[in-house]
Chain A
């Protein structure tokens, strides 16, 4: 599904990724862990298509297509979803309007009919349950005045509506209390099936108590230095990152 080969990337002339190799199959959950500055967020931003990041080498193949050639919106339409570490606030644009536009862009791309307002609201109602998000947040401008937890829930809610085939969670757990963490994890688990995949990027093992990964990768200095099963996360929790880097 996702094949990353020797991926190198820089931002503002500073080399961050130094040759990442990673293969994600359908239905798999991969956790990427690593200390601060190891390149975790760079990897997620490069995959989502943020233009400030310059790919200096390597390739990324997604369902047989060269992902790096596609602009961000085309990646999203093909099923890639990035849950932001710091979701932006966008005053003046309502959550619902935004999400309906996004969903219909995706549907158009997939040759489906655009969804009308009534069907969309029914869908929203159904997905709201998955994430336990407050109804009033949806009519408000995107993330404006949301608490940290509400912003992260909103990311998961958007994910639930857009039903990506590959979701990248960029430190979604950071700044969350245990209740919010559980809600986010429940959301992911209920969306997970044997066709869609998750790349869970996190600094702490905590999230992985709730979202159980098939693989754990340790990222250090822009490279994957170790790969293991879910037990690797526990080992990291105990020993820290120093023994690997």
Chain B
């Protein structure tokens, strides 16, 4: 069971943990883990004021679906629920940019699955970050090339 969505901050949407709780809290699961990524104030000695996220929505959602399906084959965790939301648009300090909620039967599976999903998103999902700094400059961050 997968919930995958892009949250558009320009439409005043935001990530709400309660939605993940509602989706994941089921009696067949004994372990739920939430990973929440937030905007921090310092990166490579630069004072950050916020981040603008850019996404290629259709590819991002498809990558979430593929990562979820790959978890079946690579991790053999078939009985699971996964809740993934990622923002697009501007996000201020301390605000959430991503939530990955996973529910599994046992805690070992939940920890492994949560870590697997965030690492795969970093490698596979077409999402970009533009950091904004206190000196009013901004910069697109370097990333991983998909050009093989």
Q: Do A and B bind each other?
A: no
